[in-house]
């Protein structure tokens, strides 16, 4: 027997249940001729007559009854399984896997995630906080939150802009008391800096245009967490993301320096693998972030 085209089986089951070609055609919303051709093709493939046709009714043959008994429950179970998938439910649900950098995850995402799971209790979140850019498909990641100053060129990814990210100048109260608080951009070259490896020289935007600074200092790093801790310890000035400095300002461990000067470090993007329709859980998280960050941007004016 040749390989059976499984696409023909739902038509056969519909004919068996309706006991007529016309009834099956109405149920499937196809022409009666399409139903007739499907049954004929199935019978030819199987090499056996499945239905007996009369002018008024269709009756199953012995072989047709045996096929119906085996196939109908399987098709019904398959249909139920698809309908009951979590992503097809009205409320978003299922496991949502997210990746972001450690600093963004701990300072921004922790609070947002707590509020998100309160709104959508049927969603379980798994977070991978790392500076490594993960392959979303290979790693099974649903969403990546990425900060970059370049447009995302990968056509296999869906990307939504969430908002700008800025770096501003900060120092500790102890350091500023010891060395003095800069009053203008010209004062900055006389200060010690906690230098970030990729920011040398530093070019800041100010009300009078761009300001170029060559930072000096005995400490250089490649991690914003360390830079924040070093500045809080009094080692010097540093450029930090405003979202990373906010809590330290509230606790009196950091002080903004020349707040009219800043650097646009990039844009926070919501990134996920391209799909014809975003899963409900992914769309819900995207919309939640857009709503939350519209109320409290990552780059507020200090």
Domain of 80, CATH number, reads 1.10.10.10
79-83, 202-206, 242-246, 261-265, range with the lowest pLDDT: 79-83
- Split into its structural domains, the chain has a count of 3
What is residue 110's three-state secondary structure? helix
Q: Token pair for residue 238? A: 């540093």
Let me know whether 182 and 257 are in one domain.
Answer: yes
How many CB atoms are closer than 10 A to CB 185? 17
Q: Report the chain's mean pLDDT, rounded to a whole number.
A: 87
- Asked if 182 and 191 count as a contact pair (C-beta separation under 8 A), the reply is yes
Torsion angle in degrees (nearest 10) through CA of 272, 276, 281, 287: 70
Let me know whether 14 and 58 are in one domain.
Answer: yes
23, part of any domain: yes
CA triple 140-142-144, angle to 5 deg = 105
Q: Is the pLDDT of residue 55 over 80?
A: no
Let me know whether 107 and 50 are in one domain.
Answer: no
Residue 116: CATH number of its domain: 3.40.190.10
Quote the CA–CA distance of 101 and 83 in Å, as a whole number. Answer: 36
Let me know whether 279 and 150 are in one domain.
Answer: yes
pLDDT in tens, 191-222: 999 988 777 788 888 888 898 888 888 899 88
Let me know whether 40 and 28 are in one domain.
Answer: yes
Let me know whether 286 and 249 are in one domain.
Answer: no
73, part of any domain: yes
- Structural domain harbouring 119: 88-160+274-295
Let me know whether 258 and 233 are in one domain.
Answer: yes
Q: What is residue 277's predicted lDDT score, i.e. its pLDDT?
A: 77
Let me know whether 116 and 73 are in one domain.
Answer: no
Q: How confident is the model at residue 297 (pLDDT cuts 50, 70, 90)?
A: confident
Residue 215: CATH number of its domain: 3.40.190.290
Quote the CA–CA distance of 238 and 246 in Å, as a whole number. Answer: 14
Q: Which residue has the higher pLDDT, 149 or 63?
A: 63
Q: Which residue has the higher pLDDT, 283 or 56?
A: 283
Q: Is the pLDDT of residue 169 over 90?
A: yes
Last residue of a domain, one of 84, 118, 143: 84
- Distant-in-sequence, close-in-space partners of 291: CB < 8 Å, separation ≥ 6: none
Last residue of a domain, one of 38, 68, 84: 84
Let me know whether 148 and 227 are in one domain.
Answer: no
58, containing H or E segment: strand 58-60
E runs forming strands in the chain: 51-53, 58-60, 94-100, 123-129, 143-148, 157-171, 192-196, 202-206, 209-213, 216-221, 238-241, 255-273
CA terminus-to-terminus distance, the chain: 76
300, part of any domain: no
Quote the CA–CA distance of 132 and 145 in Å, as a whole number. Answer: 12
Quote the CA–CA distance of 292 and 136 in Å, as a whole number. Answer: 24
- Asked if 128 and 97 count as a contact pair (C-beta separation under 8 A), the reply is yes
């Amino acid at each position: 027997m040749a390989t059976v085209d499984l696409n023909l089986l739902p038509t056969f089951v519909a004919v068996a249940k309706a006991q007529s070609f016309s009834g099956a055609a109405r149920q499937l919303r196809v022409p009666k001729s399409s139903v007739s051709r499907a049954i004929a093709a199935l019978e030819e493939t199987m090499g056996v007559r499945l239905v007996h046709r009369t002018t008024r009714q269709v009756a199953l043959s012995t072989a047709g009854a045996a096929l119906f008994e085996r196939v109908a429950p399987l098709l019904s179970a398959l249909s139920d399984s698809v309908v009951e998938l979590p992503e097809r439910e009205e409320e978003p649900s299922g496991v949502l896997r997210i990746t972001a950098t450690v600093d963004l995850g701990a300072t921004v995402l922790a609070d947002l995630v707590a509020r998100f799971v309160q709104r959508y209790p049927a969603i379980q979140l798994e977070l991978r906080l790392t500076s490594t850019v993960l392959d979303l498909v290979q790693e099974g990641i649903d969403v990546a939150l990425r900060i970059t100053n370049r447009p995302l060129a990968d056509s296999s990814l869906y990307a939504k802009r969430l908002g700008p990210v800025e770096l501003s100048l900060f120092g500790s109260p102890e350091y500023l008391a010891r060395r003095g608080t800069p009053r203008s951009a010209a004062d900055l070259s006389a200060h010690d800096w906690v230098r970030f490896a990729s920011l040398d020289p530093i070019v800041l935007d100010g009300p009078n245009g761009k300001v170029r600074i060559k930072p000096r200092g005995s400490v250089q790093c490649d991690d914003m967490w360390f830079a924040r801790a070093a500045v809080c310890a009094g080692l010097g000035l540093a450029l930090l993301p405003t979202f990373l400095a906010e809590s330290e300002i509230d606790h009196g461990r950091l002080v903004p320096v020349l707040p009219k000067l800043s650097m646009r470090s990039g844009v926070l993007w919501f990134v996920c693998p391209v799909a014809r329709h975003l899963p409900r859980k992914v769309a819900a998280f995207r919309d939640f972030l857009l709503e939350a960050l519209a109320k409290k941007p990552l780059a507020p004016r200090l």
